[in-house]
Amino acid sequence: MKKPLIIGIAGGTASGKTSISHHIQEMYDDVTTVRIIRQDDYYKDQSDKTMEERVATNYDHPSSIDTDLLVAHVNSLIQGETIEKPVYDFVEHNRSNITETCRPSDVLILEGLFVLQDERVRELLDIKVFVDTEADIRFIRRLLRDVQERGRSMESVVNQYISTVRPMHESFVEPSKKYADIIIPEGGSNTVAIDLLITKISSIIHHTML
């Protein structure tokens, strides 16, 4: 099996990373298998911690991610092996008991806050993308998402944003933008940039098929 095209999509919280990933997947999945690996699913297992301790974890620091496992899984997919990917439960603040079976694909999208921050992950990427969306837009999106989809209170979302999300973004996420091959302002609404990215992906896929 040929090596998959690996695309890394990084950016701040609620910047539009997932929307862009799914847009790419929808464009190609009829003729090319596209697999999305969410870095969020690789938050470290916290079964040994109380709920209070889990809630207090700084999920916006790179140390919260099991990068060793993520890199190992990506390398397994590159070798044509099937993996059992963890699935994170945002309500329980812990890994779920279920896993997702992921088979090798033609295109692999790694999506998450720190995809460009860690050198081990960057070395696996063929295309490095940073989604650059204004902080106020990202905060509003995160607030709505966490309250509506993850069962959080508005107060807890605001407190987390002020105490960890914003400072960690400034320390780790924003600086990783310098490693990007492509920067997409305004996330999923920037159709011109997304179309250019898809054109680049198509040219690489076509070249590898020759």
pLDDT at 150 (0 to 100): 84
Let me know if residue 24 belongs to a domain.
yes
pLDDT at 203 (0 to 100): 87
- Amino acid in position 75: N
Let me know if residue 45 belongs to a domain.
yes
The CATH number assigned to the domain holding 20 equals 3.40.50.300
Let me know if residue 83 belongs to a domain.
yes
Asked whether the beta carbons of 136 and 12 are under 8 A apart, the reply is: no
Instruction: Give the bridge partners for 7, in sequence order.
Output: 109, 127
pLDDT at 53 (0 to 100): 93
Per-position pLDDT tens, the chain of length 210: 688 999 999 999 999 999 999 999 988 877 678 999 999 999 999 999 999 999 889 999 999 999 999 999 999 999 999 999 999 998 898 999 999 999 999 999 999 999 999 999 999 999 999 999 999 999 999 999 989 988 889 999 999 999 999 999 999 999 999 999 999 998 778 889 999 999 988 888 877 654
* Domain residue limits at 106: 5-205
Per DSSP, the three-state class of 110 is strand
> How far apart, in Å, are the Cα atoms of 202 and each of 2, 145, 161, 207?
16, 32, 37, 8
Asked whether the beta carbons of 13 and 142 are under 8 A apart, the reply is: yes
Let me know if residue 210 belongs to a domain.
no
Let me know if residue 192 belongs to a domain.
yes
Let me know if residue 134 belongs to a domain.
yes
pLDDT at 208 (0 to 100): 67
In the chain, the number of structural domains is 1
Let me know if residue 152 belongs to a domain.
yes
